[in-house]
Chain A
Amino acid sequence: MPADQPHGASAASSLPQAPATTAAPAPPARLAQAALRDVPWEIGVAKPDPAIVVDGVTRTFGGLTAVSVDHLEVQRGGITGLIGPNGAGKTTLFNLLTGFDQPNAGTWSFDGRSLGRLSPHQVARLGVVRTFQLTKALSRLTVLQNMLLGAKDQRGEGFFRSLVPGVWRKQEQANTEKALDLLARFKLDAKKDDFAGTLSGGQRKLLEMARALMSDPKVVMLDEPMAGVNPALTQSLLGHVKDLREQGMTVIFVEHDMDVVRDISDWVVVMAAGKVIAEGPPESISQNQAVVDAYLGAHHDAPLTVEEEDQVLAEAEAAIAREEGTSGEVLSSDGTDREGTQR
């Protein structure tokens, strides 16, 4: 994995058993981890230097509450992993943060600037770019055109200015150079003139990430960057994600693979049923009872005892009885009494 070489060393020092070793001078890239070391493992805890702050954001689809986050802060310059079972609201939260969806209530801000009611392209222009769970490579554009599209503030994108090549040619050349650099980093430079639709699934993920980087974002939000990517490519993708942090970007990513999450994240936020149920450094998460319950169910590890079974049964019966009793009178299990009340 030659792509991994430069950050192999930093990866070693960032393994989950690191707490003891982080006391030693950590590479600058791990600033976020150092800053987060003393933060308590509590839901909605304040971070030393938050880039994104979410407050009371709720999104309902009909009767279903997809997202209901009371308070969440995302540390600047760190990699924050967002995990949770299917349907936990991770992607919905992503959509809300990037303007692709609007919440029913709540505020959220980036660098102290409210992102409420902004449309997706306005959010992107502020420096918050995202990728998609289902990769959106622009199939009938070449790889290089895909990349150039990512560049910000292009003069040639105005209708009238586009007709005067002199206005945008220089910027275009600079963008092309930058794009070729990035493509070389992502090992896509050989494919630059191919249609993006001919790339493999993993290469599309790489292209999407590289394209997002063209705009020099401050926050990169990756929705399942490793989904459907073969293990060899996963390693190189991981390296690229770590690179982002080393360049000072804030990374938020959704992922299901716990090994990946443990490997690269500085902080992990766990969602279930629309709520944040736990947050903390990666090593804290696997021991968290709420997380284990959310993933595996509360009674996953022990068979029910006879007493517990009786208790569950009694609770169920009581619940049924409550629903049947319309007047709210106390019902006993005695049949004669019930007849009496019916009379």
Chain B
Amino acid sequence: MGELLDAFQLGVRAMFAYQAVFFALLAIGLNLHFGYTGLLNFGQIAFAMVGGYGIAISVAQWDLPFWVGVVVGLGAAVILALLLGLPTLRLRADYLAIVTIASAEALRLLFRSVGSSEITGSTSGLFDYNSSFFSLCPWSVSGRFDILGTRWRGSELWVITIGWSIVLLACLLVWALMRSPWGRVLRAVREDEDAARALGKNVYAFKMQSLVLGGVFGALGGMIYAVGTGSQNPDQYQNANTFLAYGALILGGAARVLGPVIGAMLLWFIIAFSDSALAALVSGDNSFFGLFEWGDLLSTTDIAYIRFIIIGLGLMLLMIFRPQGILGDRREVMLDAR
């Protein structure tokens, strides 16, 4: 029982850790793309990668100040969005999906190729770019803090303080945009592009603005991830993360301001909780009603996979019993069925 409580505590800790911030920002961007505008961006992780590497390359390779790295990262995300959007946004939705998924993978392979190692560090990665970020921390970076029974390093606390502040600001921005006529046009584009065109809306421009803004959110997520991990390696940016972020978005409820945030937190709770709960189950002498020992059935290496099986099952059940996600409006989702 005590082990289960520990696992729960670790789960709660993971809800607030920088990984959750990372996914929350990825999912906020996807929410803007997919939830509000109907754009199928399957390469959100590419925006995170250019964001994170924007800082890492600027600071570690070019010796530029940290804030310049932030600007470089955001600028790179804007350029990437324009490059992806210009040829595809006039076409059907599928084309953006194809181009984004392909370029996310292509960018990762480019960054890890030997030829680009002088800039990106290739597979050996980049380090030592976040010291000026931590020098701004008002408390001791190396200190240990106990908050409600969870332990945090001072540096972690600084990253998540900034991270959750950005999430809060992003949510406020999305909220302000979505209650405005601008947001109304985005939702109209999601429902029917031709109808929006017939009403005099420049659909292409709106889709482009949405793609750029959502991409910038993704880049901010990548930056938080970069300062959180303290090292950059292209393989951190596997495209599976895009789909996990989609999972978080759908879990929380698409086209809801707080949906992606709730979803990302819950996703990380499930991952961390099931991880430590399963580990405790396997390592102890726990049996299944005296029939067999859990330790005989599962090894500790299986756990990493099983927790994703649990997430998959959870998503399936969610789609069956609550297709609108946690915060969604069931009436709205059911309209699609016709």
Contact = CB atoms under 8 A, between A and B. Distances in A.
8 contacts: A120-B198, A137-B195, A140-B336, A149-B196, A157-B181, A157-B201, A159-B182, A195-B332
A120 B176 contact: no
Contacts of B181: 148, 154-157, 162, 168, 172
Interface residues of B, number: 31
A295 interface: no
Interface residues of A, number: 39
What are the nearest 5 A-B pairs in CB distance?
A: A156-B181, A162-B182, A162-B180, A124-B200, A136-B195
Contact of A141 (B182, B188, B209): B188
Nearest to A141: B187
Contacts of B176: 162-163
Given A138-B192, A145-B184, 15 more contacts: A98-B198, A119-B202, A120-B194, A121-B200, A125-B200, A136-B194, A138-B187, A139-B336, A140-B191, A145-B187, A163-B180, A172-B181, A195-B335, A197-B338, A215-B200
B177 interface: yes
B191 A141 contact: yes
| Highest count of chain A CB atoms <10 Å: which of B182, B192, B203, B338 | B182
Interface string A100-124: 1000000000000000000111001
A128 to B, nearest CB: 10
A157 B182 contact: yes
| Highest count of chain A CB atoms <10 Å: which of B197, B202, B338 | B197
Contacts, number: 103
Contact of B180 (A124, A129, A165): A165
Interface of A: 98, 100, 119-121, 124-125, 129-132, 136-141, 145, 148-150, 152, 154-159, 162-163, 165, 168, 172, 195, 197-198, 211-212, 215
A165 B185 CA distance: 16
A158 B338 contact: no
B199 interface: yes
Nearest to A120: B197
Contacts of B92: none
A156 B194 contact: no
Nearest to B190: A140
Nearest to B176: A163
Contacts of A215: 199-200
A200 to B, nearest CB: 12
Nearest to B182: A162
Contact of A198 (B173, B180, B199, B335): B335
B30 to A, nearest CB: 18
B283 to A, nearest CB: 49
Contacts of A165: 180
A148 B198 contact: no
Contacts of A159: 177, 182, 209, 213
B195 A132 contact: yes
Contacts of A211: 199
Given A163-B177, A197-B335, A215-B200, A141 B194 contact: no
Contacts of B213: 159
A149 B335 contact: no
Interface string B155-175: 000000000000000000100
Contact of A129 (B188, B191, B199, B332): B199
Given A130-B198, A162-B177, A121 B209 contact: no
